[in-house]
């Protein structure tokens, strides 16, 4: 089969289309014929540093964390799916390929109103949102949420889910086009961080939870904005992982600072997240209260161009690869 291989650590040019061995499913796995794969910022980290996620995660040769496709083979113990079922799946690599083996516990049926490309937008973003905002930060109806990077794949999905569940949303983004989009999807207030200091713009808003993928000097500003018992959730540190904070803000307001990486989580943890997503989020997709937004679809052999677009941060929503 054909797959995109990380030939060495480096820039987008190290992503090369190669012929590799087609995998065979083990007892708990299904073999999926990949119809679409999502591109995520984590894939860039993997490309630049294939061992980035530590010794508990295998060194990645084929990137990609989410797929959608058709089941074409079953392991002997698979009992949740059948041949020809259309599924999307969260994976820990190997998605940029024509076929992939996935543990059945990490697969979800594709909602009937979505195509493969739309379904490939779902797993990484929704698993990340549910794990971080609803399990870790215990975000609930009636609260106020700020999402930095509001037009990222995670941001767009997280804002929609929050709104559908009765949460008031705020967001930052870096262009007027992105601000207009955020307003269109129902964000209460969107701030162009290149023109306005979000700390000043939101100082009167009692924020309960902030989802941050920026880090750096955003961190102390986030702590300033959170109200009593607020929760700051960090899922990346694109600006800087080295931060300086006023610890008294945490102590005096009883704040919680947390964060996570989804990729290294055990299958059991991801499986439990998947069950909660199917129960709580899948109905929002079928009712169209939440929907995926695709910015651009690239053929698999143009994975390097997809990564260049991701690195530019010009996109709104998801970038998809199609084998």
Asked if pLDDT for residue 91 goes beyond 70, the answer is yes
Cβ burial of 87 (10 Å; 0-12, 13-18, 19+) is buried
Domain(s) labelled CATH 3.40.50.720 in the chain stretch across 125-259
* DSSP annotation string for 223-287: HHHEEEEEEEEES--SSBS-----HHHHHHHT-EEEE--STTS-HHHHHHHHHHHHHHTHHHHHT
pLDDT of residue 51: 79
For the domain covering 125-259, report its CATH number. 3.40.50.720
Asked if pLDDT for residue 313 goes beyond 80, the answer is yes
Give residue-wise pLDDT tens across range 107-165. 999 999 999 999 999 999 999 999 999 999 999 999 999 999 999 999 999 999 999 99
Give residue-wise pLDDT tens across range 39-56. 999 999 999 988 777 656
* Strand partners of residue 242: none
pLDDT of residue 278: 97
Domain(s) labelled CATH 3.90.180.10 in the chain stretch across 2-122+285-322
**Which letter does DSSP use for residue 28 in this model?**
T
- CATH top class, domain 2-122+285-322: alpha beta
pTM, entire model = 0.94
Rounded mean pLDDT of 240-263? 95
In this structure, is the dihedral angle defined by the CA atoms of residues 133, 116, 32 and 85, taken in order, positive or negative? positive
Cβ burial of 285 (10 Å; 0-12, 13-18, 19+) is buried
């Amino acid at each position: 089969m054909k797959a995109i291989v990380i030939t060495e650590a480096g820039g987008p040019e190290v992503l090369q289309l190669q012929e590799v061995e087609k995998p065979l499913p083990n007892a708990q796995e299904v073999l999926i014929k990949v119809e679409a794969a999502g591109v995520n910022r984590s894939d860039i980290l993997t490309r630049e540093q294939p061992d980035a996620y530590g010794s508990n995660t295998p060194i990645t040769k084929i990137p990609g964390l989410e797929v959608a496709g058709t089941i074409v083979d079953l392991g002997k113990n698979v009992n949740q799916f059948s041949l020809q079922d259309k599924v999307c799946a969260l994976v820990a690599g190997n998605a940029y390929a024509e076929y992939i083996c996935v543990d059945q516990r990490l697969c979800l049926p594709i909602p009937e109103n979505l195509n493969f490309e739309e379904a490939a937008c779902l797993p990484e973003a929704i698993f990340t949102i549910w794990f971080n905002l609803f399990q870790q930060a215990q975000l609930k109806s009636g609260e106020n949420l700020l999402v930095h990077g509001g037009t990222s794949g995670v941001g767009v999905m997280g804002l929609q889910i929050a709104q559908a569940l009765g949460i008031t949303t705020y967001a930052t983004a870096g262009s007027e086009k992105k601000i207009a989009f955020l307003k269109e999807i129902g964000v209460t207030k969107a701030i162009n961080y290149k023109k306005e200091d979000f700390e000043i713009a939101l100082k009167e808003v009692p924020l309960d939870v902030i989802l941050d993928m920026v880090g750096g000097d955003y961190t102390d500003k986030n702590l300033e904005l959170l109200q009593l018992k607020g929760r700051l959730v960090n899922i990346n540190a694109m600006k800087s992982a080295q931060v300086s904070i006023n610890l008294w803000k945490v102590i005096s307001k009883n704040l919680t600072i947390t964060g996570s990486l989804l990729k290294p989580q055990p299958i059991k943890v991801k499986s439990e997240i998947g069950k909660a997503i199917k129960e709580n989020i899948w109905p929002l997709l079928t009712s169209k209260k939440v929907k995926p937004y695709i910015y651009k679809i690239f053929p698999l052999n143009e994975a390097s161009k997809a990564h260049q677009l991701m690195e530019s941060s010009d996109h709104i929503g998801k970038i998809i690869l199609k084998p």
